[in-house]
A and B are shown apart, each in its own frame.
Chain A
Amino acid sequence: MIIAGVDMGSKFVKVVILKDGAIQGKATETTGFEPIEAASRCLHSAAEASGIKATSIEYITATGAGRKVAPGANSDITDVGAAAKGVARLHPPARTVLDIGAEEGRSIKIDANGKVVDFAVNEKCAAGAGAFAESMARALEVSLEEFGKLSLQSNKSIPMNAQCAVFAESEVVSLMHAQTPKQDISRAVHDAIASRIISMARRIGITQDLVLIGGLSYNPGFVDALNRGFEFKVHVPADAEYVGALGAAITAEERNR
Protein backbone atom coordinates (compact mmCIF):
# COMPACT_ATOMS: atom_id res chain seq x y z
CA MET A 1 0.00 0.00 0.00
CA ILE A 2 1.29 3.48 -0.87
CA ILE A 3 0.68 6.20 1.70
CA ALA A 4 1.96 9.70 2.42
CA GLY A 5 2.57 11.87 5.46
CA VAL A 6 2.39 15.63 4.96
CA ASP A 7 3.86 18.04 7.49
CA MET A 8 2.32 21.48 6.86
CA GLY A 9 4.84 23.65 8.72
CA SER A 10 4.57 27.42 8.86
CA LYS A 11 7.80 27.80 6.89
CA PHE A 12 8.18 24.49 4.99
CA VAL A 13 5.94 21.67 3.79
CA LYS A 14 7.51 18.21 4.05
CA VAL A 15 6.22 14.98 2.53
CA VAL A 16 7.33 11.38 3.15
CA ILE A 17 5.98 8.48 1.08
CA LEU A 18 5.87 4.94 2.46
CA LYS A 19 5.28 1.80 0.44
CA ASP A 20 4.53 -1.28 2.52
CA GLY A 21 6.18 0.34 5.50
CA ALA A 22 9.43 1.38 3.81
CA ILE A 23 10.38 4.95 2.93
CA GLN A 24 10.20 5.42 -0.83
CA GLY A 25 10.92 9.11 -1.18
CA LYS A 26 10.59 12.54 0.39
CA ALA A 27 10.44 16.19 -0.61
CA THR A 28 10.22 19.66 0.86
CA GLU A 29 8.79 22.98 -0.40
CA THR A 30 8.63 26.50 0.98
CA THR A 31 5.13 27.10 2.39
CA GLY A 32 4.94 30.72 1.25
CA PHE A 33 1.54 32.38 1.09
CA GLU A 34 -0.28 29.50 -0.63
CA PRO A 35 0.19 26.48 1.62
CA ILE A 36 -2.30 24.29 -0.27
CA GLU A 37 -0.52 24.75 -3.61
CA ALA A 38 2.84 24.26 -1.92
CA ALA A 39 1.63 21.01 -0.38
CA SER A 40 0.31 19.63 -3.63
CA ARG A 41 3.58 20.53 -5.43
CA CYS A 42 5.45 18.84 -2.60
CA LEU A 43 3.31 15.68 -2.88
CA HIS A 44 4.09 15.53 -6.61
CA SER A 45 7.86 15.94 -6.10
CA ALA A 46 7.86 13.28 -3.39
CA ALA A 47 5.93 10.92 -5.68
CA GLU A 48 8.42 11.57 -8.44
CA ALA A 49 11.33 10.89 -6.06
CA SER A 50 9.63 7.62 -5.13
CA GLY A 51 9.17 6.63 -8.77
CA ILE A 52 5.39 6.55 -8.49
CA LYS A 53 2.47 8.66 -9.68
CA ALA A 54 0.93 11.06 -7.19
CA THR A 55 -2.48 9.57 -8.05
CA SER A 56 -1.38 6.16 -6.79
CA ILE A 57 -1.12 7.46 -3.21
CA GLU A 58 -3.95 5.69 -1.42
CA TYR A 59 -4.06 7.44 1.94
CA ILE A 60 -2.68 10.72 3.33
CA THR A 61 -2.31 11.87 6.95
CA ALA A 62 -1.38 15.47 7.64
CA THR A 63 0.31 17.17 10.59
CA GLY A 64 1.81 20.59 11.37
CA ALA A 65 0.29 24.03 11.84
CA GLY A 66 -1.69 23.83 8.57
CA ARG A 67 -2.78 20.20 8.87
CA LYS A 68 -6.49 21.03 8.57
CA VAL A 69 -6.03 22.48 5.07
CA ALA A 70 -3.71 19.80 3.66
CA PRO A 71 -4.90 18.84 0.15
CA GLY A 72 -6.28 15.32 -0.24
CA ALA A 73 -5.67 14.42 3.41
CA ASN A 74 -7.79 11.60 4.80
CA SER A 75 -6.92 12.30 8.43
CA ASP A 76 -4.61 14.34 10.61
CA ILE A 77 -2.50 14.08 13.75
CA THR A 78 -1.08 16.73 16.09
CA ASP A 79 2.56 17.88 15.76
CA VAL A 80 3.33 16.29 19.11
CA GLY A 81 1.83 12.92 18.13
CA ALA A 82 3.60 12.90 14.76
CA ALA A 83 6.98 13.85 16.25
CA ALA A 84 6.66 11.03 18.79
CA LYS A 85 5.85 8.41 16.16
CA GLY A 86 8.54 9.60 13.77
CA VAL A 87 11.23 9.51 16.44
CA ALA A 88 10.17 6.09 17.70
CA ARG A 89 10.68 4.73 14.17
CA LEU A 90 14.07 6.39 13.62
CA HIS A 91 15.49 5.74 17.07
CA PRO A 92 13.48 3.02 18.90
CA PRO A 93 15.13 3.41 22.35
CA ALA A 94 14.08 7.08 22.54
CA ARG A 95 11.89 7.99 25.49
CA THR A 96 12.21 11.80 25.39
CA VAL A 97 11.84 13.97 22.30
CA LEU A 98 12.90 17.60 22.22
CA ASP A 99 11.41 19.44 19.26
CA ILE A 100 12.84 22.96 19.19
CA GLY A 101 11.80 25.26 16.38
CA ALA A 102 12.07 28.97 15.70
CA GLU A 103 9.11 30.06 17.81
CA GLU A 104 8.19 26.98 19.77
CA GLY A 105 9.83 24.32 21.88
CA ARG A 106 8.35 21.04 23.04
CA SER A 107 9.51 18.30 25.31
CA ILE A 108 7.66 15.01 24.74
CA LYS A 109 7.83 11.84 26.80
CA ILE A 110 7.05 8.71 24.75
CA ASP A 111 6.66 4.97 25.33
CA ALA A 112 8.15 2.06 23.36
CA ASN A 113 5.36 2.28 20.76
CA GLY A 114 5.89 5.97 20.11
CA LYS A 115 2.81 6.89 22.09
CA VAL A 116 2.83 10.26 23.86
CA VAL A 117 2.88 9.87 27.65
CA ASP A 118 3.27 13.53 28.59
CA PHE A 119 4.54 16.76 27.06
CA ALA A 120 5.39 20.40 27.82
CA VAL A 121 5.33 23.31 25.38
CA ASN A 122 6.86 26.76 25.34
CA GLU A 123 5.31 28.99 22.73
CA LYS A 124 5.16 32.15 24.83
CA CYS A 125 8.78 33.15 25.24
CA ALA A 126 11.53 33.55 22.65
CA ALA A 127 14.23 32.79 25.23
CA GLY A 128 13.61 29.06 24.81
CA ALA A 129 13.38 29.02 21.02
CA GLY A 130 15.40 29.46 17.86
CA ALA A 131 14.28 33.09 17.52
CA PHE A 132 16.66 33.90 20.40
CA ALA A 133 19.67 32.57 18.47
CA GLU A 134 18.47 34.43 15.36
CA SER A 135 18.25 37.80 17.09
CA MET A 136 21.61 37.34 18.84
CA ALA A 137 23.30 36.39 15.56
CA ARG A 138 21.89 39.62 14.15
CA ALA A 139 23.28 41.61 17.10
CA LEU A 140 26.72 40.07 16.51
CA GLU A 141 26.39 40.58 12.76
CA VAL A 142 27.15 37.00 11.81
CA SER A 143 25.02 34.51 9.87
CA LEU A 144 22.93 32.08 11.91
CA GLU A 145 25.00 29.21 10.56
CA GLU A 146 28.27 30.84 11.56
CA PHE A 147 26.81 31.80 14.93
CA GLY A 148 26.16 28.15 15.80
CA LYS A 149 29.65 27.05 14.78
CA LEU A 150 31.40 29.92 16.60
CA SER A 151 30.19 28.56 19.92
CA LEU A 152 32.29 25.40 19.47
CA GLN A 153 35.48 27.48 19.36
CA SER A 154 34.91 28.76 22.87
CA ASN A 155 35.79 27.00 26.08
CA LYS A 156 34.74 29.78 28.41
CA SER A 157 31.34 29.90 30.10
CA ILE A 158 30.01 33.40 30.67
CA PRO A 159 26.68 33.32 32.48
CA MET A 160 23.94 35.50 30.97
CA ASN A 161 21.98 37.43 33.59
CA ALA A 162 19.01 38.16 31.38
CA GLN A 163 16.41 35.52 30.72
CA CYS A 164 14.48 37.61 28.25
CA ALA A 165 15.74 37.69 24.64
CA VAL A 166 15.11 41.45 24.47
CA PHE A 167 17.14 42.14 27.62
CA ALA A 168 19.81 39.67 26.49
CA GLU A 169 20.38 41.76 23.40
CA SER A 170 21.42 44.73 25.59
CA GLU A 171 23.61 42.36 27.56
CA VAL A 172 25.27 41.11 24.37
CA VAL A 173 25.93 44.70 23.34
CA SER A 174 27.63 45.35 26.71
CA LEU A 175 29.71 42.19 26.27
CA MET A 176 30.76 43.41 22.84
CA HIS A 177 31.74 46.77 24.32
CA ALA A 178 33.83 44.90 26.89
CA GLN A 179 35.71 43.25 23.98
CA THR A 180 34.37 39.78 24.79
CA PRO A 181 35.27 37.44 21.89
CA LYS A 182 32.34 36.55 19.63
CA GLN A 183 32.76 32.83 20.23
CA ASP A 184 32.37 33.30 23.99
CA ILE A 185 29.22 35.38 23.47
CA SER A 186 27.88 32.73 21.10
CA ARG A 187 28.48 30.04 23.72
CA ALA A 188 26.80 32.16 26.41
CA VAL A 189 23.70 32.55 24.22
CA HIS A 190 23.49 28.84 23.35
CA ASP A 191 23.99 27.92 27.00
CA ALA A 192 21.15 30.27 27.94
CA ILE A 193 18.75 28.71 25.41
CA ALA A 194 19.81 25.21 26.46
CA SER A 195 19.21 25.99 30.11
CA ARG A 196 15.64 27.15 29.35
CA ILE A 197 15.01 23.99 27.31
CA ILE A 198 16.50 21.73 29.98
CA SER A 199 14.29 23.21 32.68
CA MET A 200 11.25 22.69 30.44
CA ALA A 201 12.33 19.07 29.82
CA ARG A 202 12.85 18.50 33.55
CA ARG A 203 9.22 19.40 34.19
CA ILE A 204 8.12 16.20 32.47
CA GLY A 205 11.19 14.14 33.37
CA ILE A 206 14.31 13.35 31.34
CA THR A 207 15.57 10.01 30.10
CA GLN A 208 19.03 9.48 28.68
CA ASP A 209 17.58 8.22 25.41
CA LEU A 210 16.85 11.71 24.28
CA VAL A 211 16.32 12.70 20.66
CA LEU A 212 16.55 16.30 19.45
CA ILE A 213 14.61 17.36 16.35
CA GLY A 214 13.44 20.69 14.91
CA GLY A 215 15.41 23.57 13.43
CA LEU A 216 17.78 23.93 16.37
CA SER A 217 18.99 20.34 15.87
CA TYR A 218 20.98 21.77 12.94
CA ASN A 219 22.81 24.21 15.21
CA PRO A 220 26.03 22.53 16.48
CA GLY A 221 26.50 25.18 19.18
CA PHE A 222 23.08 24.43 20.63
CA VAL A 223 23.60 20.65 20.46
CA ASP A 224 26.92 21.07 22.29
CA ALA A 225 25.29 23.30 24.93
CA LEU A 226 22.56 20.69 25.47
CA ASN A 227 25.14 17.89 25.78
CA ARG A 228 27.04 19.85 28.40
CA GLY A 229 23.85 20.83 30.24
CA PHE A 230 22.43 17.30 30.35
CA GLU A 231 25.88 15.74 30.93
CA PHE A 232 25.10 13.10 28.31
CA LYS A 233 24.91 13.14 24.53
CA VAL A 234 21.58 13.84 22.88
CA HIS A 235 20.80 11.88 19.72
CA VAL A 236 20.21 13.90 16.55
CA PRO A 237 18.71 11.84 13.71
CA ALA A 238 19.68 12.43 10.09
CA ASP A 239 16.89 14.20 8.15
CA ALA A 240 15.49 15.63 11.37
CA GLU A 241 13.22 17.95 9.37
CA TYR A 242 11.27 14.95 8.00
CA VAL A 243 10.44 13.46 11.40
CA GLY A 244 6.96 15.05 11.52
CA ALA A 245 6.06 13.91 7.99
CA LEU A 246 7.37 10.43 8.74
CA GLY A 247 5.28 10.34 11.92
CA ALA A 248 2.20 11.35 9.90
CA ALA A 249 2.94 8.61 7.36
CA ILE A 250 3.28 6.02 10.13
CA THR A 251 -0.07 7.19 11.50
CA ALA A 252 -1.58 6.71 8.05
CA GLU A 253 -0.14 3.21 8.02
CA GLU A 254 -1.63 2.39 11.43
CA ARG A 255 -5.03 3.73 10.46
CA ASN A 256 -5.10 1.40 7.45
CA ARG A 257 -4.07 -1.74 9.21
Chain B
Amino acid sequence: MTTNTAKEFWRWKEYNWHDSAVDPKSAEIITAGVDVGSVSSQAVVLLDGQLYAYASMRTGSNSPDSAIKAMNWALENTGLTIADLQFTVGTGYGRVNVPFANRAITEIACHARGGNFMYGPTVRTILDMGGQDCKAILCDENGKVTNFLMNDKCAAGTGRGMEVFADLLGVPIEEVGDLSLDVDEEPPPVSSTCVVFAKSEAASLLREGWSKKRVLASYCSAMAHRVVSLLQRIGVVKDFAITGGIAKNRGVVVRLEKELNIKAIQSKYDAQIAGALGAALFAKAMVEKQRKTVLQ
Protein backbone atom coordinates (compact mmCIF):
# COMPACT_ATOMS: atom_id res chain seq x y z
CA MET B 1 0.00 0.00 0.00
CA THR B 2 1.26 3.48 -0.77
CA THR B 3 1.32 6.00 2.01
CA ASN B 4 -1.12 8.81 1.73
CA THR B 5 0.73 12.10 1.90
CA ALA B 6 -2.37 14.16 1.18
CA LYS B 7 -3.94 15.97 4.12
CA GLU B 8 -6.50 13.85 5.92
CA PHE B 9 -9.40 16.21 6.46
CA TRP B 10 -11.53 13.59 8.15
CA ARG B 11 -9.01 13.19 10.98
CA TRP B 12 -10.64 14.62 14.10
CA LYS B 13 -8.73 15.59 17.21
CA GLU B 14 -8.04 12.98 19.84
CA TYR B 15 -8.10 14.26 23.44
CA ASN B 16 -7.74 13.36 27.09
CA TRP B 17 -8.67 15.10 30.33
CA HIS B 18 -8.50 14.54 34.08
CA ASP B 19 -9.56 16.55 37.09
CA SER B 20 -6.23 17.58 38.61
CA ALA B 21 -7.96 19.08 41.68
CA VAL B 22 -8.92 15.60 42.89
CA ASP B 23 -6.60 13.08 44.54
CA PRO B 24 -7.54 9.66 43.16
CA LYS B 25 -6.01 7.93 46.19
CA SER B 26 -8.77 9.38 48.39
CA ALA B 27 -11.49 7.59 46.42
CA GLU B 28 -13.19 4.53 47.79
CA ILE B 29 -14.52 3.12 44.53
CA ILE B 30 -12.56 3.46 41.29
CA THR B 31 -14.48 2.18 38.24
CA ALA B 32 -14.04 2.53 34.51
CA GLY B 33 -15.87 2.17 31.23
CA VAL B 34 -14.41 1.62 27.79
CA ASP B 35 -16.45 2.18 24.65
CA VAL B 36 -14.66 0.58 21.70
CA GLY B 37 -16.58 1.86 18.70
CA SER B 38 -16.00 1.06 15.07
CA VAL B 39 -14.45 4.47 14.45
CA SER B 40 -13.51 5.90 17.87
CA SER B 41 -12.79 4.55 21.35
CA GLN B 42 -13.44 6.31 24.65
CA ALA B 43 -12.27 5.48 28.16
CA VAL B 44 -13.84 7.00 31.28
CA VAL B 45 -12.73 6.72 34.92
CA LEU B 46 -15.04 7.51 37.84
CA LEU B 47 -14.05 8.13 41.46
CA ASP B 48 -16.98 7.24 43.71
CA GLY B 49 -19.33 7.81 40.79
CA GLN B 50 -17.94 11.23 39.86
CA LEU B 51 -16.27 11.88 36.51
CA TYR B 52 -12.51 11.96 37.03
CA ALA B 53 -10.76 11.27 33.74
CA TYR B 54 -11.46 10.41 30.12
CA ALA B 55 -9.86 10.02 26.71
CA SER B 56 -11.15 9.73 23.16
CA MET B 57 -9.13 8.38 20.27
CA ARG B 58 -9.44 6.66 16.92
CA THR B 59 -10.01 2.88 17.02
CA GLY B 60 -7.11 1.09 15.34
CA SER B 61 -7.23 -2.17 13.44
CA ASN B 62 -6.89 -4.09 16.71
CA SER B 63 -9.67 -3.56 19.30
CA PRO B 64 -7.82 -4.88 22.41
CA ASP B 65 -4.92 -2.51 21.68
CA SER B 66 -7.29 0.41 21.12
CA ALA B 67 -9.02 -0.25 24.45
CA ILE B 68 -5.70 -0.39 26.35
CA LYS B 69 -4.37 2.71 24.59
CA ALA B 70 -7.48 4.75 25.32
CA MET B 71 -7.49 3.75 28.99
CA ASN B 72 -3.78 4.39 29.46
CA TRP B 73 -4.21 7.81 27.89
CA ALA B 74 -7.14 8.65 30.19
CA LEU B 75 -4.98 7.63 33.16
CA GLU B 76 -1.95 9.60 31.96
CA ASN B 77 -0.44 11.74 34.76
CA THR B 78 -3.08 10.63 37.26
CA GLY B 79 -0.83 8.23 39.18
CA LEU B 80 -3.34 5.48 38.49
CA THR B 81 -2.85 2.43 36.28
CA ILE B 82 -5.27 -0.13 34.85
CA ALA B 83 -4.46 -2.34 37.87
CA ASP B 84 -6.08 0.26 40.17
CA LEU B 85 -9.48 -0.04 38.47
CA GLN B 86 -11.77 -2.08 40.70
CA PHE B 87 -14.29 -2.88 38.02
CA THR B 88 -14.33 -2.11 34.31
CA VAL B 89 -17.22 -2.49 31.88
CA GLY B 90 -16.59 -2.73 28.16
CA THR B 91 -19.15 -1.51 25.65
CA GLY B 92 -19.50 -0.68 21.96
CA TYR B 93 -18.78 -2.67 18.86
CA GLY B 94 -15.54 -4.14 20.33
CA ARG B 95 -16.85 -4.63 23.89
CA VAL B 96 -15.97 -8.33 24.08
CA ASN B 97 -12.39 -7.50 23.13
CA VAL B 98 -11.47 -5.31 26.09
CA PRO B 99 -8.76 -7.37 27.83
CA PHE B 100 -9.06 -5.69 31.25
CA ALA B 101 -12.87 -5.50 31.37
CA ASN B 102 -14.80 -7.51 33.97
CA ARG B 103 -18.02 -7.38 31.98
CA ALA B 104 -19.47 -6.33 28.64
CA ILE B 105 -22.75 -4.39 28.34
CA THR B 106 -24.41 -3.25 25.09
CA GLU B 107 -23.83 0.33 24.01
CA ILE B 108 -27.58 0.96 23.89
CA ALA B 109 -27.87 0.38 27.65
CA CYS B 110 -24.67 2.34 28.31
CA HIS B 111 -25.74 5.34 26.25
CA ALA B 112 -29.05 5.53 28.08
CA ARG B 113 -27.29 5.26 31.45
CA GLY B 114 -24.60 7.77 30.50
CA GLY B 115 -27.17 10.11 28.96
CA ASN B 116 -29.18 10.02 32.18
CA PHE B 117 -26.08 11.13 34.15
CA MET B 118 -25.03 13.80 31.63
CA TYR B 119 -28.41 15.35 30.87
CA GLY B 120 -30.28 14.54 34.07
CA PRO B 121 -33.29 12.31 34.81
CA THR B 122 -35.66 14.32 32.57
CA VAL B 123 -34.06 13.03 29.37
CA ARG B 124 -36.35 10.55 27.58
CA THR B 125 -34.91 10.38 24.05
CA ILE B 126 -31.23 9.99 23.28
CA LEU B 127 -30.00 10.15 19.75
CA ASP B 128 -26.55 8.64 19.53
CA MET B 129 -24.86 9.55 16.26
CA GLY B 130 -21.79 7.39 16.12
CA GLY B 131 -19.10 6.60 13.60
CA GLN B 132 -20.76 3.67 11.89
CA ASP B 133 -24.25 3.65 13.30
CA CYS B 134 -27.06 5.83 14.51
CA LYS B 135 -29.38 4.94 17.37
CA ALA B 136 -32.57 6.49 18.69
CA ILE B 137 -33.00 5.36 22.31
CA LEU B 138 -36.00 5.93 24.59
CA CYS B 139 -35.35 5.64 28.32
CA ASP B 140 -37.01 6.20 31.69
CA GLU B 141 -36.01 8.52 34.54
CA ASN B 142 -33.42 5.98 35.77
CA GLY B 143 -31.70 5.77 32.40
CA LYS B 144 -33.18 2.36 31.66
CA VAL B 145 -33.87 1.63 27.99
CA THR B 146 -37.57 1.35 27.12
CA ASN B 147 -37.22 1.14 23.33
CA PHE B 148 -34.69 1.78 20.60
CA LEU B 149 -34.18 1.82 16.84
CA MET B 150 -30.89 1.77 15.03
CA ASN B 151 -29.29 1.98 11.62
CA ASP B 152 -25.99 0.17 11.39
CA LYS B 153 -26.31 -1.02 7.81
CA CYS B 154 -25.79 2.16 5.86
CA ALA B 155 -23.25 5.00 6.10
CA ALA B 156 -25.86 7.67 5.38
CA GLY B 157 -26.51 9.47 8.66
CA THR B 158 -23.31 8.33 10.37
CA GLY B 159 -20.02 9.97 11.26
CA ARG B 160 -18.22 7.89 8.66
CA GLY B 161 -20.38 9.47 5.96
CA MET B 162 -19.45 12.91 7.26
CA GLU B 163 -15.75 11.98 7.20
CA VAL B 164 -16.07 10.99 3.54
CA PHE B 165 -17.57 14.40 2.76
CA ALA B 166 -14.98 16.34 4.74
CA ASP B 167 -12.31 14.57 2.73
CA LEU B 168 -14.06 15.10 -0.60
CA LEU B 169 -14.39 18.84 -0.03
CA GLY B 170 -11.05 19.27 1.72
CA VAL B 171 -12.63 20.81 4.82
CA PRO B 172 -11.39 19.80 8.31
CA ILE B 173 -14.21 17.80 9.88
CA GLU B 174 -14.51 20.05 12.95
CA GLU B 175 -15.30 23.02 10.66
CA VAL B 176 -17.95 21.31 8.54
CA GLY B 177 -20.89 22.25 10.78
CA ASP B 178 -20.16 25.96 11.14
CA LEU B 179 -19.25 26.39 7.47
CA SER B 180 -22.48 24.70 6.44
CA LEU B 181 -24.46 27.30 8.42
CA ASP B 182 -22.67 30.17 6.71
CA VAL B 183 -24.95 30.24 3.64
CA ASP B 184 -27.35 33.02 2.55
CA GLU B 185 -30.07 30.62 1.64
CA GLU B 186 -30.65 27.00 2.60
CA PRO B 187 -30.06 24.80 -0.48
CA PRO B 188 -32.16 21.68 -1.14
CA PRO B 189 -30.73 18.56 0.53
CA VAL B 190 -28.51 16.19 -1.47
CA SER B 191 -31.00 13.81 -3.09
CA SER B 192 -28.98 10.57 -3.01
CA THR B 193 -29.30 8.49 0.12
CA CYS B 194 -26.15 6.42 -0.47
CA VAL B 195 -22.92 8.18 0.51
CA VAL B 196 -21.18 6.78 -2.59
CA PHE B 197 -23.82 8.34 -4.84
CA ALA B 198 -24.00 11.52 -2.76
CA LYS B 199 -20.27 11.93 -3.40
CA SER B 200 -20.77 11.98 -7.17
CA GLU B 201 -23.78 14.26 -6.73
CA ALA B 202 -21.65 16.67 -4.69
CA ALA B 203 -18.91 16.58 -7.32
CA SER B 204 -21.39 17.60 -10.02
CA LEU B 205 -22.86 20.35 -7.80
CA LEU B 206 -19.33 21.76 -7.40
CA ARG B 207 -18.90 21.61 -11.17
CA GLU B 208 -22.15 23.54 -11.55
CA GLY B 209 -20.52 26.28 -9.50
CA TRP B 210 -21.90 25.62 -6.01
CA SER B 211 -19.63 26.82 -3.20
CA LYS B 212 -18.20 24.28 -0.75
CA LYS B 213 -20.32 25.84 2.00
CA ARG B 214 -23.48 25.35 -0.03
CA VAL B 215 -22.62 21.69 -0.76
CA LEU B 216 -21.89 21.13 2.94
CA ALA B 217 -25.20 22.78 3.85
CA SER B 218 -26.95 20.49 1.40
CA TYR B 219 -25.26 17.39 2.84
CA CYS B 220 -25.81 18.34 6.52
CA SER B 221 -29.46 18.93 5.75
CA ALA B 222 -29.75 15.51 4.02
CA MET B 223 -28.12 13.87 7.02
CA ALA B 224 -30.44 15.66 9.45
CA HIS B 225 -33.44 14.60 7.39
CA ARG B 226 -32.31 10.99 7.36
CA VAL B 227 -31.90 10.91 11.12
CA VAL B 228 -35.23 12.66 11.68
CA SER B 229 -36.99 9.83 9.85
CA LEU B 230 -35.38 7.34 12.25
CA LEU B 231 -36.49 9.47 15.22
CA GLN B 232 -40.01 9.84 13.90
CA ARG B 233 -40.36 6.09 13.57
CA ILE B 234 -39.72 5.65 17.28
CA GLY B 235 -41.42 8.87 18.36
CA VAL B 236 -39.45 11.60 20.12
CA VAL B 237 -40.36 12.26 23.76
CA LYS B 238 -38.93 15.32 25.56
CA ASP B 239 -36.32 15.90 26.88
CA PHE B 240 -34.27 15.18 23.83
CA ALA B 241 -30.47 14.90 23.84
CA ILE B 242 -27.81 14.06 21.26
CA THR B 243 -24.65 12.08 22.00
CA GLY B 244 -21.77 10.89 19.82
CA GLY B 245 -19.43 12.73 17.48
CA ILE B 246 -22.09 14.34 15.29
CA ALA B 247 -23.52 16.06 18.39
CA LYS B 248 -20.56 18.42 17.91
CA ASN B 249 -21.57 19.25 14.32
CA ARG B 250 -23.85 22.28 14.62
CA GLY B 251 -24.73 22.09 10.95
CA VAL B 252 -26.52 18.79 11.51
CA VAL B 253 -27.84 19.56 15.02
CA VAL B 254 -29.41 22.93 14.12
CA ARG B 255 -31.14 21.50 11.04
CA LEU B 256 -32.30 18.46 12.96
CA GLU B 257 -33.78 20.62 15.74
CA LYS B 258 -35.54 22.75 13.16
CA GLU B 259 -37.07 19.79 11.36
CA LEU B 260 -38.16 18.13 14.63
CA ASN B 261 -39.17 21.44 16.16
CA ILE B 262 -37.49 20.37 19.42
CA LYS B 263 -34.33 21.78 20.98
CA ALA B 264 -31.71 19.30 22.14
CA ILE B 265 -30.74 19.89 25.77
CA GLN B 266 -27.12 20.70 26.53
CA SER B 267 -24.70 19.23 29.05
CA LYS B 268 -21.43 20.37 30.57
CA TYR B 269 -20.01 16.93 29.73
CA ASP B 270 -18.46 15.86 26.43
CA ALA B 271 -21.18 14.30 24.24
CA GLN B 272 -18.78 11.70 22.87
CA ILE B 273 -18.12 9.97 26.20
CA ALA B 274 -21.75 9.03 26.96
CA GLY B 275 -21.28 5.32 26.21
CA ALA B 276 -18.07 4.90 28.20
CA LEU B 277 -19.51 6.99 31.02
CA GLY B 278 -22.58 4.76 31.17
CA ALA B 279 -20.32 1.70 31.24
CA ALA B 280 -18.34 3.17 34.15
CA LEU B 281 -21.60 3.90 36.02
CA PHE B 282 -22.69 0.28 35.53
CA ALA B 283 -19.26 -0.76 36.84
CA LYS B 284 -19.82 1.31 39.98
CA ALA B 285 -23.23 -0.24 40.55
CA MET B 286 -21.64 -3.67 40.26
CA VAL B 287 -18.94 -2.92 42.82
CA GLU B 288 -21.63 -1.71 45.24
CA LYS B 289 -23.68 -4.84 44.63
CA GLN B 290 -20.64 -7.05 45.26
CA ARG B 291 -19.99 -5.25 48.53
CA LYS B 292 -23.57 -5.71 49.65
CA THR B 293 -23.36 -9.44 48.95
CA VAL B 294 -20.10 -9.72 50.88
CA LEU B 295 -21.53 -7.82 53.86
CA GLN B 296 -24.67 -9.92 54.07
Binding between chains A and B: yes
Please report A residues at the B interface, Cβ cutoff 8 Å.
Answer: 103, 124-127, 131-132, 135, 141, 163-167, 170, 173-174, 176-178
18 more contacts with CB within 8 A, not counting A127-B194, A167-B160, are A103-B200, A124-B192, A125-B194, A126-B194, A132-B196, A163-B153, A164-B153, A164-B155, A165-B194, A165-B195, A166-B161, A166-B164, A167-B38, A167-B132, A167-B155, A170-B160, A176-B1, A177-B61
The reply to whether the CB of B154 lies closer than 8 angstroms to some CB of chain A is yes
A165 CA to B2 CA in the complex, in Å? Answer: 22
Please report B residues at the A interface, Cβ cutoff 8 Å.
Answer: 1-2, 38, 61, 132, 153-155, 160-161, 164, 192-197, 200
The answer, among B154, B164, B197, for a CB contact under 8 Å with A163, is B154
Most chain-A Cβ atoms within 10 A of its Cβ — which of B38, B160, B192, B196? B196
> Is the contact region of chain A dominated by helix, strand, or loop, or is it mixed?
helix
* CB-CB nearest in chain A for B1: A176
- Flag if B197 contacts A103 (CB, 8 Å): yes
Inside 8 A of B153's CB, which chain A residues have their CB?
Answer: 163-164
- Flag if A166 contacts B160 (CB, 8 Å): yes
Number of A-B pairs whose CB atoms are under 8 Å?
Answer: 48
Inside 8 A of A126's CB, which chain B residues have their CB?
Answer: 194-197
A123 CA to B155 CA in the complex, in Å? Answer: 16
* CB-CB nearest in chain A for B155: A166
* CB-CB nearest in chain A for B151: A164
| CB proximity of B3 to chain A, nearest CB, Å | 12
Inside 8 A of A167's CB, which chain B residues have their CB?
Answer: 38, 132, 155, 160
| CB proximity of B223 to chain A, nearest CB, Å | 13
| CB proximity of B164 to chain A, nearest CB, Å | 6
| CB proximity of B273 to chain A, nearest CB, Å | 23
| CB proximity of B66 to chain A, nearest CB, Å | 13
The answer, among A135, A173, A177, A178, for a CB contact under 8 Å with B196, is A135
- Flag if A166 contacts B195 (CB, 8 Å): yes
Inside 8 A of B38's CB, which chain A residues have their CB?
Answer: 167, 170
- Flag if B1 contacts A131 (CB, 8 Å): no
List 30 A–B pairs whose Cβ atoms lie within 8 Å, in order of A's numbering.
A103-B200, A124-B192, A125-B154, A125-B193, A126-B194, A126-B196, A127-B194, A131-B196, A131-B197, A163-B153, A163-B154, A164-B154, A164-B155, A165-B155, A165-B194, A165-B195, A165-B196, A166-B155, A166-B160, A166-B161, A166-B164, A166-B196, A167-B38, A167-B132, A167-B155, A167-B160, A170-B132, A170-B160, A176-B1, A178-B61
